[in-house]
Amino acid sequence: MSPPFNVSVKRDVAYSPRFHPSSPTNTILVLTPRSSRSSSVSSVGLQQGLLQNEEIIDDTDEDLHTPDQHTVTIHNKFWNSEFDEDHEEEAQSRFRNSSIESARSVIHNKLKSSLYTSILSQKEVEVDLDIEYDNDDDNMPDLSLYLHQIKIFLKSVAEQQKYENLFKESAVAPLQDDYHCIIFLKNTSEHLMHRHKNQLHAQSTGCELEYSDIYEILERILFETQDHFFYNIFIKDVGRHFNAVKSNDQIFFDKSSDCLARVLKDLDLYYDSETFKVEYNEAIKCLKSISQIYSPTKKLHCITRASKKTMYSMTKKSAISTSHGETIISTDHFLPVFICVVCCTHMPDTFTQLCFLNKYANEELLIGEHGFYLSSFESAAHYIISQDHENTN
């Protein structure tokens, strides 16, 4: 079976004058479908891939979509701001690296969304992946089997635990099996990866789906499908079984509305509240959006993105040089600013979200970068509910 389309990264674009770093958008990825049948499929997959990668990719231009060519427009975050000509050389090398990385991540997301779609659509082997199959039947990924197993699993968990009753406020059902969900996700991911290791990568680009990618896909199936049935249960459960979570949510919500000015002052950040909100608007908006996301992995991505946006804004306004006169952002610099960003989100369910992620997120990710920023988010939330109290007294 030949791959449904070719993926190529135009490596030269970063050098071409048309793609001057100061231009806000740069086209760097071209996908060429082999047949019209696959073009619609890949277009859908591509869109899904793009949605997951919204930071780097700003938009796709519909007009450019011809039957035989998709062009993805990539918005380079580094060049969102004023361009300093003195640093052009350094900037260009940074740009080159980042655009190739961006392209890889698009392909990567494409692979993921293809697998997601194919598991959901229960199509046997018609996987819209750039995969070279050998003809040995034993090695074909039987994805419908996985879907079937997932469905049985969901059904049995729901029946056994009488999850439906959780929606009725009177019923208090201990959620003993919640960690089974996680173990199920882990084992299925491992199995899927282990068994089909050689098939889960795009030959032409060297992109590969790893354990955490597969985990993410299964996680999406669990939390995003069936009208977010499981998400709703788990998020309710978090509040139900950890009393502190609900009360902390309320405390955070109450205090974050009026403590920003005080926190800014306490942390030696020389801002008035309104200016801060404007300068860190991007990060605040991004962090706020986690309540509208259902998959734990995507929530983690969202927090990391908000943290990066915070650091980006810090460098832009050289907020850190006022205190230490240097350009390295360590946690000593980052945390105070991030505390204020978290304060500005003024979310009603901060601790519920945190608790949900600590319980249900992929624990491999919690060791890495996403875990770090989740911890920072958690620290910030704790700081706000405690610090304010002290001051009131």
| Min separation Cβ 342 and another protein, Å | 12
CB 110 within 8 A of CB 215: no
Which pairs with CB-CB distance under 8 Å and at least 24 residues apart come from 139-148?
A: 139/196, 139/198, 139/199, 141/192, 141/195, 141/196, 141/199, 143/115, 143/118, 143/119, 146/119, 146/188, 146/192, 147/119, 147/120, 147/122, 148/122
The single residue among 65, 123, 180, 236 that binds another protein, judged by CB under 8 A, is 180
Q: Which is nearer to another protein, 42 or 313 (by Cβ)?
A: 313
Considering the rule CB under 8 A, would residue 94 count as an interface residue with another protein? yes
Q: Which is nearer to another protein, 59 or 208 (by Cβ)?
A: 208
Considering the rule CB under 8 A, would residue 90 count as an interface residue with another protein? yes
Considering the rule CB under 8 A, would residue 327 count as an interface residue with another protein? yes
CB 286 within 8 A of CB 305: yes
Considering the rule CB under 8 A, would residue 210 count as an interface residue with another protein? no
Considering the rule CB under 8 A, would residue 184 count as an interface residue with another protein? yes
Considering the rule CB under 8 A, would residue 95 count as an interface residue with another protein? no
| Min separation Cβ 248 and another protein, Å | 7
Cα 371 to Cα 360: distance, rounded to the nearest angstrom: 12
Among the residue ranges 1-9, 97-105, 190-198, 276-284, the one whose residues contact another protein (CB under 8 A): 190-198
Element (H, E) at 70: strand 70-75
| Min separation Cβ 41 and another protein, Å | 25
Considering the rule CB under 8 A, would residue 331 count as an interface residue with another protein? yes
Q: Supply 299's token pair.
A: 């929530």
Return the SS3 of 25.
strand
The single residue among 76, 109, 188, 345 that binds another protein, judged by CB under 8 A, is 188
Considering the rule CB under 8 A, would residue 83 count as an interface residue with another protein? no
Cα 50 to Cα 109: distance, rounded to the nearest angstrom: 8
Q: Which is nearer to another protein, 184 or 230 (by Cβ)?
A: 184
In 3D space, the residue among 36, 34, 13, 43 whose CA is nearest the CA of residue 25 turns out to be: 13
Considering the rule CB under 8 A, would residue 196 count as an interface residue with another protein? no
Q: Supply 310's token pair.
A: 């915070």
Q: Which is nearer to another protein, 130 or 178 (by Cβ)?
A: 178
- Cα-to-chain-centroid distance, residue 378: 17
CB 83 within 8 A of CB 22: yes
| Min separation Cβ 290 and another protein, Å | 15
Question: Rounded to the nearest 10 degrees, what angle do helices 296-316 and 211-224 cross at?
Answer: 110
| Min separation Cβ 172 and another protein, Å | 15
CB 21 within 8 A of CB 83: yes
The single residue among 83, 133, 229, 242 that binds another protein, judged by CB under 8 A, is 242
Question: Rounded to the nearest 10 degrees, what angle do helices 350-360 and 243-256 cross at?
Answer: 140
Q: How wide is the angle at C-alpha 296 spanned by C-alphas 295 and 299, nearest 5°?
A: 90
Considering the rule CB under 8 A, would residue 351 count as an interface residue with another protein? yes
Would you tell me which residues interact with another protein (CB under 8 A)? 87, 90, 94, 145-146, 149, 153, 178-180, 182-184, 186-188, 190-192, 194, 241-245, 248, 251, 266, 307-308, 311, 315, 326-332, 334-336, 351, 354-355, 358-359, 363-364, 366-369, 371-373, 375-376, 378-379, 382-383, 385-387, 389-390, 393
